[in-house]
Amino acid sequence: MSEFDDLRARVSTFGTGDAAAEAAVRARQDTLTKPPGSLGRLEDLAAWLARWQGRAMPRLDRVEIVVFAGNHGVVAQGVSSFPAEVTAQMVGNFAAGGAAINQLARVAGAGLRVVPVEVARPTGDFTVGTAMSADEFRAAVAVGSDAVAPGIDLLCLGEMGIGNTTVAAALAAALFGGGGAAWAGRGTGLDQAGVGRKAAVIDRGLARHEAVLADPLAAAAALGGRELAAILGAVIAAREQGVPVLLDGFVCTAAAAPLAVLAQGGLDHALVAHVSAEAGHRRLVAALGQAALLDLGMRLGEGSGAALAVPVLRAAVACHSGMASFAEAGVSDGAG
């Protein structure tokens, strides 16, 4: 028995998606007017969407971006170059349409929802205690699960929370080892000395909570944040509801990473959309056995990289559903 058996039970019922839908996509792809495999990863993306949507003809009619926001007690340790009040101020900016994610959501043809997760109540500073109690963690996970709208075709996840690159680095270190220096990056703009201090703060947190770090969910409660827990909950609910997921950068990937440790294939329905310039992200993507779709030197968060990858998925679906077959077009195939 553990405090998180309810969540572990949900993860243990994860299915493996619709293999027949994926097979149908692969079979159709070989009939389309192109040399076999010539659309490269676009072909894999169409097959991935089909498997996790459970639909032989994948579609992206309803794409939603959800940005979760939260605040972090560990900012008291001087780990961010911006003050904690920016989190709530940016939530206002999202509502007014003035943030990067507002513009990128429009480009992606996606809906955008912002879900503050008790922004006025920061987590505990993980260097002096747990970030969240088990109940607080479960409540934040539930906020995320409830935020997945029924019937959407793709969920893009993002976050806003001053201090959360420290939290993400601590969680990544807990899950995959390596210590603060391996995972700490500049975040919103620390200098090299600042990154060194941030690594030391992470190491203090890891030492304080060492006894629980072997349990990915206990680690996420002790070191994580409410917006990260909500992302985890949304990724779980998406799996249960047949909704493929695009993860954003370092913070978002770290938030979902406990699922990969809890269950073989636990993150197979979630793709890392871009590799962030935040120092630990490349290492984290590799630890998950993934290859990010885009690498544009971005280090913003907000779901920006996930939004930017939506047009790539739209291209995959457009080719798959719109192209003529060799027979339909009267083009000679290469079989003979």
Ligand X SMILES: Cc1cc2ncn([C@H]3O[C@H](COP(=O)(O)O)[C@@H](O)[C@H]3O)c2cc1C
Ligand Y SMILES: O=C(O)c1cccnc1
Binding site for ligand Y (CB under 6 A): 165, 187-188, 248-252, 276, 278, 281, 299, 301
Q: Which does 299 bind (CB under 5 to 8 A by kind): ligand X, ligand Y, none?
A: ligand Y
Does residue 74 belong to the site contacting ligand X (CB under 6 A)? Answer: no
CB 282, CB 275: distance < 8 Å: yes
- Residue 82 binding target from ligand X, ligand Y, none, CB below 5 to 8 Å by type: ligand X
Question: Starting from the edge strand earliest in sequence, which strands make up the sheet with 245-247, in order?
Answer: 111-116, 63-69, 154-160, 245-247, 270-272
Cβ proximity to ligand X, 158 vs 233, nearer residue = 158
Per partner kind, with CB cut-offs from 5 to 8 A, the member of ligand X, ligand Y, none near residue 43 is: none
Strands 63-69 and 154-160: parallel
Binding pattern for the stretch 225-264 against ligand X, x by CB under 6 A and - elsewhere: ----------------------------------------
Are 95 and 186 contacting, i.e. CB atoms less than 8 angstroms apart?
A: no
Tokens found for residue 180: 């603060």
Minimum CB separation of residue 82 from ligand X in Å reads 4
For ligand X, which residue of 129, 188, 277, 319 counts as binding (CB under 6 A)?
188
223 binds ligand X (CB under 6 A): no
Active-site residues: which are they?
302
Total binding residues toward ligand X, as defined by CB under 6 A: 17
Q: How far is the CB of 164 from ligand X (least distance, A)?
A: 5
- We find the least distance from the C-beta atom of residue 115 to ligand X, in angstroms, to be 14
The contact set with ligand X (CB under 6 A) reads 80, 82, 86, 90, 159-166, 187-188, 300-302
